[in-house]
């Protein structure tokens, strides 16, 4: 059958070691395919295909391999394990400083994520782009751009870094990238920095501000139609 592959003794020994099975329990043949789906990788799962370059875990270390095929191996009692077979290309430097490629072939069961390899134009080195890696914390503050909308209380950058204004958006001009808003300031009547009221009344109170001056959405809630309370 086309989807059944015979396993030689070397492959059987490698699979037995990987699955912690006695060699006699490893079958002499396995079902093979060119793609598999892992639901615990990426967003809503990831399809891996033969030829993909991935990061896998081998003996507690993450290495880069190119997938060749997938095998479904019966480890006894109809308990099947899905294994991937691939080739690893660790790049090493010789004594003279030139790149040396050491080929390794084997089976793995813990595929972590896909990567992209970019070859260099000047030598045999490869750059690994680990784009699916999960970072516990970013080395910088993550800024997600959003479109302002009517009703938002936004933060407006003033002349200095410490000069931050609060503005309540009344209208948005998408083409000109401008918003009309009313500025809100801390209420002097309540003597509290977290309670904001409109700075001025009348027609002249409406201001036009460019999107580039908006640095974020202010956090808080409306206590009543004329009073906004900043989240502390």
**pLDDT tens across 33-92, in order?**
888 888 878 777 888 888 888 888 877 778 888 888 888 888 777 778 888 888 876 655
Which of 192, 121, 188, 179 is closest to 153 using CA atoms? 179
Position 229 pLDDT exceeds 90: yes
Model pLDDT, residue 90: 65
Residue pLDDT, tens place only, 167-194: 999 999 999 999 999 999 988 776 677 8
Residue pLDDT, tens place only, 125-145: 777 777 777 766 666 676 667
Q: What's the CA angle centered on 85, arms 84 and 88, to 5 degrees?
A: 115
Tell me, yes or no, if the two domains 4-129 and 152-230 fold the same way.
Answer: yes
Which of 19, 15, 81, 89 is closest to 54 using CA atoms? 89
Model pLDDT, residue 99: 46
What does the block give as tokens for 51? 């030829």
Model pLDDT, residue 123: 66
State the Cα–Cα distance between residues 230 and 90, nearest whole angstrom. 55
Q: Which of the four CATH numbers 1.10.10, 1.20.120, 2.30.30, 3.40.390 does domain 4-129 have?
A: 2.30.30
Model pLDDT, residue 66: 86
Position 103 pLDDT exceeds 60: no
Backbone angles phi, psi at 54, to 5 degrees: -135, 165
- % the chain with pLDDT above 70: 81
Q: What is the mean pLDDT of residues 93-111?
A: 58
Given CATH 1.10.3470, say whether it is the number of domain 152-230: no
Residue spans per domain, the chain: 4-129, 152-230
pTM for the whole structure: 0.48
């Amino acid at each position: 059958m086309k989807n059944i592959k015979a396993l030689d003794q070397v492959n059987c020994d490698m699979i037995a070691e990987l699955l912690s099975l006695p060699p006699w329990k490893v079958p002499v043949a396995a079902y093979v395919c060119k793609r598999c789906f892992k639901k615990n990788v990426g967003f809503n799962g990831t399809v891996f295909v033969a030829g993909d370059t991935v990061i896998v875990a081998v003996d507690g270390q993450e290495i880069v391999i190119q997938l060749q095929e997938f095998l479904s191996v019966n480890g006894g009692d109809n308990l099947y394990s899905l294994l991937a077979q691939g080739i690893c290309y660790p790049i090493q430097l010789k004594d003279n400083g030139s790149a040396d490629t050491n080929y390794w072939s084997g089976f793995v069961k813990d595929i972590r994520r896909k990567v992209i390899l970019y070859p260099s134009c000047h030598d045999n080195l490869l750059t690994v782009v680990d784009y699916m890696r999960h970072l516990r914390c970013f080395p910088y503050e993550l800024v997600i751009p959003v479109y302002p909308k009517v009703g938002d209380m936004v933060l407006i950058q003033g002349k200095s870094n410490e000069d931050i204004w609060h503005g309540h958006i009344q209208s948005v001009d998408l083409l000109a990238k401008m918003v009309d808003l009313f500025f809100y300031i801390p209420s002097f009547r309540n003597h509290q920095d977290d309670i904001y009221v409109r700075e001025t009344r009348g027609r002249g109170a409406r201001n036009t501000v460019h999107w580039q001056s908006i640095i974020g959405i202010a956090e808080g809630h409306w206590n009543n139609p004329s009073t906004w309370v900043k989240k502390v």
